[in-house]
Amino acid sequence: MDRKTFIKTSGLGLGLALIPSSIQCQAAEADNGNTSALPKIVKDSEGEVLNVIGDIQTHKLVGSDTNNQIVEWVDNVEPGVGIPPHIHTKEDEIFRVIKGEVEITVDGNTTILKAGDTAFAPKGIAHAWTVVGTEKAKMITSAFPAGIEHMFNTLAQLPPGPPDFEKVAAICGEHGITFV
64 with 4, same domain? no
27 with 53, same domain? no
pLDDT given at position 14: 47
17 with 74, same domain? no
Per the structure, the count of domains in the chain is: 2
Over residues 43-68, the pLDDT tens digits come to 999 999 999 999 999 999 999 999 99
Over residues 98-147, the pLDDT tens digits come to 999 999 999 999 999 999 999 999 999 999 999 999 999 999 999 999 99
The rounded Cα 123 to chain-centroid distance in angstroms is 11
135 with 89, same domain? yes
18 with 56, same domain? no
DSSP state of 125: S
Query: Whole domain around residue 27: which residue ranges?
Result: 1-32
b (16+ CB within 10 A) / e for 43-74 = eeeebeebebbebbbbbbbbbebbebebbbbb
116 with 60, same domain? yes
pLDDT given at position 16: 44
